[in-house]
Amino acid sequence: MQLTHLVINGFKSFADKTEIDFVPGLTGIVGPNGSGKSNITEAIRWTLGEQSAKSLRGEKMGDVIFAGTATRPPLNRAEVLMTFDNQDGYLKEQPATVTVCRRLYRDGESEFLINNQQVRLKDIVDLFMDSGLGKESFSFISQGRVEAIFNSKPEDRRGILEEAAGVFKYKQQKLKAEHELQTTDDNLARVSDIVSELQ
Ligand code: ATP
C-alpha cells in the first residue's frame, strides 16, 4: 500500500485546490517557514480520522477550513482526498486503488467517503487500523512529539518503541489471554470444589 496522490482544497492555508503526487523517490517537502508543510501532514491525519482540533493546532474543528486572508474571503468547505495504490492487497477487501475523502462544511456538516461511497468516520478509522497509518500511529511524529519521546521515562519510552515495532498489540493480546486463563483456572477450581462436595 502506498499513498500516491493527495488533493487538498480549502484546508487551512490551501485555499486553492492543491495536488501532490507522491512519486517514488520523494523523500521530503521543503519550504519557507509558515508555507504550509505541517498543514500537509495535518491534512493527511485529518483525513485518516483525527478528531482532536487541538492536535491540529486549532480550537475547534472548523478552524481547519481556510479562514481567509487580507485579500481573500474565507471558504465554506475543507476537502482532502487521498489515493492509495493497494495492488499488494494490504488494505483487505479493497480494490487496487483506494480513495479516502473527508469534507467539512462551516455549518458543521461532515462527509466521509471511501471509493466515492459515503461512509462513517469509524469506517475510515477501521480501514487503517493496524495498517501502520492510523491517526495515532508512529507514521506521524510531530515536532513536539520528538521532544516528548526524548524526555519520557525509560519505561514510557519502551512502550513507545514497542508500539512502533508492532509488539504492543501482541502484549495486549497476551494480557487478555492470561486473564482468560486465570478465569478458567478459577472456574475449574470451583467445579472441583462442587465435585468434592457431591462425593
Ligand atoms: P514551519 O516551517 O515554521 O514549521 P510550515 O511550513 O510547517 O512552517 P504550517 O505550520 O503548515 O507551515 O502553516 C502555517 C500557516 O498556515 C500560517 O501562515 C497560518 O496562518 C496558516 N493557516 C493555518 N490555519 C489556517 C486557516 N484555517 N486558514 C488560513 N490559513 C491558515
In the chain, what are the domain boundaries?
Answer: 2-135, 167-198
User: Cα separations (Å) of 170 from 90, 154, 167?
Assistant: 20, 20, 5
Instruction: Give the number of the atom of ligand 1 that is nearest the alpha carbon of residue 39.
Output: 11
Q: 2-135 has which fold?
A: Rossmann fold (3.40.50)
Nearest to 78 by CA among 123, 35, 108: 108
The C-alpha cell at 57 is 493546532
Half-sphere exposure of 8 (CA within 13 A, CB side): 23
Residue nearest to atom 23 of ligand 1 (CA): 12
Phi and psi, residue 85, nearest 5°: -85, 115
* Ligand 1 site-directed mutation target among 8, 13, 140, most atoms within 8 Å of CB: 13
For the Cβ of 33 lying below 6 angstroms from any atom of ligand 1, the answer is: yes
Phi and psi, residue 81, nearest 5°: -125, 125
Residue nearest to atom 8 of ligand 1 (CA): 34
pLDDT digits over 167-186, tens only? 776 888 899 999 999 999 99
For the Cβ of 66 lying below 6 angstroms from any atom of ligand 1, the answer is: yes
pLDDT digits over 69-122, tens only? 999 999 999 999 999 999 999 898 999 999 999 999 999 999 999 999 999 999
pTM equals 0.80
Does ipTM exceed 0.90?
yes
